[in-house]
Amino acid sequence: MTRAGTATIGHDASGDVIVASGDWTLAYAPALAGLVATLRGQARPGLRIDARGLGRVDTAGAGLLLDLAGVDAIDGLDPRRRALFDAVARAQAAPPVPAKPEGGLVALLARTGAAVEHIGDNVRRLVGFIGLILATLARTVPQPRRWRVTSLAFHLEQTGLDAVPIVVLMNFLVGAVIAFLGATVLKDFGAAIFTVDLIGYSFLREFGVLLTAILIAGRSGSAFTAQIGSMKSREEIDAIRTLGLDPVEVLVLPRLLALLIALPLLTFLAMAAGIVGGGAVCALNLDISPTMFVTRLQDLAATRHFWVGMSKAPLFAFLIAAIGCLEGFKVSGSAESVGEHTTSSVVQAIFVAILVDAFAAIFFMEINI
């Protein structure tokens, strides 16, 4: 049996008396809140509440009644109910927290400033972390006892071998698409044969390594962040430190070295797959036979372009691993933080890879390679 709570105001010799009845529970709280606000406006100080007719009362209802008067001014409470009102009154006595000011131009400026500062901070920390990695590497390399071969092999399999199918497939498809695009444009000039140059040039110099780096940033960089991040949030990193080990040496170096080995190998496969993909389109659609394709490719001074592309692979590998691991170390506390930093790791790694690639393109053009 439930009955909506209600209250009426009356007067007697000693002053105003509010008679409360019915159920003062959460279900009726919105209506009761309005009622209480009205009664507060009408009542004079020194009012009393008659609670004898109350049905069920929960903390929400008790809180609202206490807005009208203190516990001492409420008549007709049995000891149990008085305990509830006492508890609620004590809880409500705590001073309310002032609401946070938000919105407006100042907040916008503050957020912009914070974002800029955050970028600067990211760069500073990344550079610092790279220095730390290099220092640890220099310390560890002369001591073969401290090489973590098992861990290295494990990460080599995860980041290298397991990524082969997707890297090969993706580059094959992109190679085919580029061949189609090139053929469409070049055919009109009667220069369809230059499609071979386009494929060779683009895959050896740029696409092979860049596509692989982007894929690995999404696949392995994110994995590094998630692995290290969840270890951080469960205090495993602290445990590593207290055991007298260096987290950079234990966690970062095997991942970094694995990626340094895996990414150039994957890049090689990517270049081959892209060229095969382009060659397939040339053979099937453009009447450029595989023999002619290979001959034409050899005229391209392909070795030079191959080394230009390949020289970027270790650089990308280093940056992806460093960003992935650093973001992992930045995780704090909650599981949500792991997700945030994983996203941030992938975005940063891809951005940095493309940025470095752009600078490298300018650099190689200037020195005429």
Partner 1 sequence: MNATAREKVIEVRGLRNQFGTQVVHENLDLDVYRGEIVGVVGGSGSGKSVLLRSIIGLLRPAAGEVTLLGEDMMRISDARRSAIEARCGVLFQNGALFSSLSVADNVMVPMREHYRLPLPLMQRLAALKIALAGLPANAGAKFPAQLSGGMVKRAALARALALDPDILFLDEPTAGLDPIGAAAFDQLILTLRDSLGLTVFLITHDLDTLYTICDRVAVLAQKRVLVADTIARVEACDDPWVREYFQGPRGRAAWAAAARERQAIAADAAPTKS
Which of 38, 40, 52, 91 touches partner 1 by CB under 8 A? 91
Both tokens assigned to 78: 């049995």
φ and ψ of 157, to 5 deg: -65, -45
- Helices 59-68 and 29-42, packing angle to 10 deg: 10
Specify the residue, 179 or 338, whose C-beta has the smaller distance to partner 1: 338
Show the site string, 309-348: x = touches partner 1 by CB under 8 A, - = not: -----------------------xxxxxx-----------
Task: Give Cβ neighbours of residue 100 (< 8 Å, ≥ 6 apart).
Answer: none
Residue type, 328: G
Check if the beta carbon of residue 31 is closer than 8 Å to that of residue 4: yes
Q: Is 362 a binder of partner 1 (CB under 8 A)?
A: no
Q: Is 100 a binder of partner 1 (CB under 8 A)?
A: yes
Q: Is 241 a binder of partner 1 (CB under 8 A)?
A: no
Residue type, 320: I
Q: What would the DSSP string read from start to end of 168-209?
A: HHHHHHHHHHHHHHHHHHHHTTT-TTHHHHHHHHHIIIIIHH
Which of 2, 87, 238, 295 touches partner 1 by CB under 8 A? 87
Q: Is 58 a binder of partner 1 (CB under 8 A)?
A: yes
In whole angstroms, the minimum distance from the beta carbon of 78 to partner 1 comes to: 10
With H, G, I as helix, E, B as strand and everything else as coil, classify residue 20: strand
Specify the residue, 21 or 337, whose C-beta has the smaller distance to partner 1: 337
With H, G, I as helix, E, B as strand and everything else as coil, classify residue 11: strand
Q: Is 94 a binder of partner 1 (CB under 8 A)?
A: yes
Check if the beta carbon of residue 176 is closer than 8 Å to that of residue 280: yes
Specify the residue, 60 or 198, whose C-beta has the smaller distance to partner 1: 60
From 279, 293, 262, 284, select the one nearest 172 (Cα to Cα).
Answer: 279
Determine the interface stretch with partner 1 among 92-100, 183-191, 299-307, 314-322 (rule: CB under 8 A): 92-100
- Interatomic CA distance for residues 328 and 223, integer angstroms: 9
Q: Is 83 a binder of partner 1 (CB under 8 A)?
A: yes
Q: Is 3 a binder of partner 1 (CB under 8 A)?
A: no
Q: Is 29 a binder of partner 1 (CB under 8 A)?
A: yes
Q: Is 88 a binder of partner 1 (CB under 8 A)?
A: yes
In whole angstroms, the minimum distance from the beta carbon of 215 to partner 1 comes to: 29
In whole angstroms, the minimum distance from the beta carbon of 243 to partner 1 comes to: 23
In whole angstroms, the minimum distance from the beta carbon of 31 to partner 1 comes to: 11
Both tokens assigned to 133: 């990695």
Binding site for partner 1 (CB under 8 A): 25-27, 29-30, 33, 58-60, 63, 80-81, 83-85, 87-88, 90-92, 94-97, 100, 332-337
